[in-house]
Structure 1
Amino acid sequence: MEVQFTNAWQKMIEKLQSWLDSLVVNIPNIIIAIIVFIVALVAAKYIRKLALRLLERTKLQHSMKNLISKIVSMIVVLMGLFLILGILDLGKALNTILAGAGVVGLAVGLALQGALANTYAGIVLSYIKHIKFGDWIETSDFEGEVINIDLRAVTLKQPDNNLVYIPNKLVVESPIKNFSTTAQSRVILECGVGYESDLRAVRELVVQTISSSFEAVSNKEDVIFLYKEFGDNSINFETRFWINSTSAIEVARAKTKAIIEIKEAFDKNGINIPFPIRTLHFPEKVSVSTDS
């Protein structure tokens, strides 16, 4: 038993000595590998900054510029790692790592299908010109200002100042209404007047009120006034006009202002805006019982 233990101990000592000899022999290579690794990290940092400066001259969105610069820096680091493996004479280990990385990459890709879909959609959104920072959009039943586009989600600031994070995949697959693609927005206002009203006078009054209340309306011809139908209690009309704004909030404010101005004009001119009423018709002879 003692002989076997002694032999095992001797073999372990010999193995450790061989490892130590290999370490001593490879110390210069290890030092060079450490230097190469540090140089690769520093080079990746400065190359990323240089790539960002060059990309600032392009029309790509900020998120796409960051993505490209990060990819460039990662490539530099990977090149440094491959060089280190060659210096340390670990070519066989490199082949093993690459083979294992393929299997792991396949498993990770299957497990992260949703995340990868959002990443791809984020890259697509970074390229298209229909959405950019500062735009006011409506998509997936949410509306607000685009304040960020990254590889996971589009961030909208809603009118109530709350933030909504919409996955990129939903934004790409859903219809997008962009209020900022034009310099003006149209305000559409519906109302009704009583059947006893002079319809020509109502039209003239509404057009005059709108044209004098908004700077974007230079003359009366810019206001569209249309009677729509004979309603149950009123003759309903619709008026349309443009304002110098690309924000849905400004459209709502302009609509509010138009309602106030039209109501005041109607009150001054004795024009009635009727509300739903119900008329009850009783028979000529109605017996009323007073029994308790």
Structure 2
Amino acid sequence: MEKVLEKLNTWKDLFIKNIPNIAIALVVLIISYFASRAINRFVYKTIGGKIKQESVRNLVSRIASAFIFLIGLYFAMTILKFDDTLKTIVSAAGVSGIVVGLALQGTLSNTISGIVLSFRKNLNIGNWVETNGYAGEVIDINLNYFVIKEADNNMVVIPNKTILENPFKNYSLTTKMRITIECGVEYGADLEKVEALTKTTITDNFNQEKINKQVEFYFTEFGDSSINFICRFWVDSENALERLKAKSKAIIQIKKAFDKEGINIPFPMRTLEFVENNKLNIKEIAKQKISAN
């Protein structure tokens, strides 16, 4: 017990003796922290006019910020006279680096993948992408993960390694997007009239000349209750949400045009027959037709 108390007294005296150094080291750490944040903003704004990719600007500014903070940490350790400890850590890093590298293989892989993704010209913050079963706007690309904001405002965090190893679709690389509408008309309809009416409806609502494209229309098959066709046209769009809106508008306008001209879009019919000894005792109904979507 006496040895423990003696050791505690020694530590207390050492702590009191080093209070000025501890205070200076804390001040250095605080200054380096705020300096790193200032450098982050400064570097980001400085290279903003030279580097167009926001992900690259973020990466460079974060590295500069981390470098400034590490310098402050080094000075703080020097003030606390941890030079020998620091040298020991650096010397042991070569031996332990292999072990740490194996233990953090996944993390290091994500970090390297994050650097690669940051410099990709076909992927940038603000793009609307679809990858690994998720679709949305790219919010952030950092050294560990990739953040997507979906149309329903949910945030999806995906490891960088997963993004790099799997294909992705970037809707923002082009401002033109093709939309396909599938539909069917009754067998008694005038097919030439159906084709002309559909093309006219699409052209009136979506300017194809502006994007130097034409409406495509093809009858595809004789269905069970209808003659089916597809109609393809182009719209100015940079994300999947605008594509859905355009497709919805096209369906509404085609339905209105068909109704106005008396062209029917068939739908399946089901007939139910009730026998006299039915438990529900429904005698007045012989047949009933129920439409199913």
TM-score range, shorter chain: 0.7 to 0.9
Q: Check whether the contact 1:121–1:151 (CA below 8 A) recurs between aligned residues.
A: yes
Alpha carbons of structure 1 residues 275 and 217: separation in structure 2 relative to 1, 3 Å: farther
Q: 2:129 aligns with which of 137, 146, 149?
A: 137
Shift of 1:144: 1.0
Identity of matched residues, %: 47
Is 1:103 the counterpart of 2:95? The answer is: yes
Is 1:212 the counterpart of 2:194? The answer is: no
Q: 2:221 aligns with which of 222, 225, 229?
A: 229
Aligned partner letter, 1:240: R
Q: 2:43 aligns with which of 47, 51, 63?
A: 51
Q: Check whether the contact 1:211–1:220 (CA below 8 A) recurs between aligned residues.
A: no
Q: Which moved more, 1:35-44 or 1:111-120?
A: 35-44
Q: Separation in 1 of the partners of 2:41 and 2:276?
A: 94
Alpha carbons of structure 1 residues 131 and 35: separation in structure 2 relative to 1, 3 Å: closer
Q: Separation in 2 of the partners of 1:221 and 1:96?
A: 69
Normalization by structure 2: what TM-score? 0.72
Q: Separation in 1 of the partners of 2:72 and 2:250?
A: 66
Gaps of 5+ in 1: 1-11, 281-287
Q: Which residue of 1 aligns with 2:235?
A: 243
Alpha carbons of structure 1 residues 46 and 231: separation in structure 2 relative to 1, 3 Å: closer
Give the number of the structure whose residues are more often strand, by fraction: 2
SS in 1 for 2:143: coil
Once the two structures are superposed, residues 248-280 of structure 1 have per-residue CA deviations (whole angstroms, 9 ceiling, x without a partner) of 111111111111111111112121211235799
Is 1:123 the counterpart of 2:115? The answer is: yes
Alpha carbons of structure 1 residues 60 and 102: separation in structure 2 relative to 1, 3 Å: farther
Q: Check whether the contact 2:113–2:160 (CA below 8 A) recurs between aligned residues.
A: yes
Q: Separation in 2 of the partners of 1:241 and 1:115?
A: 45
Q: Check whether the contact 1:60–1:126 (CA below 8 A) recurs between aligned residues.
A: no
Q: Separation in 2 of the partners of 1:151 and 1:233?
A: 56
Once the two structures are superposed, residues 128-177 of structure 1 have per-residue CA deviations (whole angstroms, 9 ceiling, x without a partner) of 02121221111101111112222222222212122211221111111111
Q: Check whether the contact 2:59–2:118 (CA below 8 A) recurs between aligned residues.
A: no
SS in 2 for 1:222: coil
Aligned partner letter, 1:132: N
Q: Check whether the contact 1:37–1:84 (CA below 8 A) recurs between aligned residues.
A: yes
Q: Which residue of 1 aligns with 2:191?
A: 199
Shift of 1:61: 3.5
Q: Which residue of 2 aligns with 1:160?
A: 152
Is 1:266 the counterpart of 2:266? The answer is: no
Rg: which structure is higher? 1
Q: Which residue of 2 aligns with 1:284?
A: none
> What count of residue pairs does the alignment treat as equivalent?
265
Q: Check whether the contact 1:225–1:240 (CA below 8 A) recurs between aligned residues.
A: yes
Q: 2:167 aligns with which of 172, 175, 179?
A: 175
Q: Check whether the contact 1:233–1:277 (CA below 8 A) recurs between aligned residues.
A: no
Once the two structures are superposed, residues 197-255 of structure 1 have per-residue CA deviations (whole angstroms, 9 ceiling, x without a partner) of 11111100101111112245569972111111122221111101111221211111111
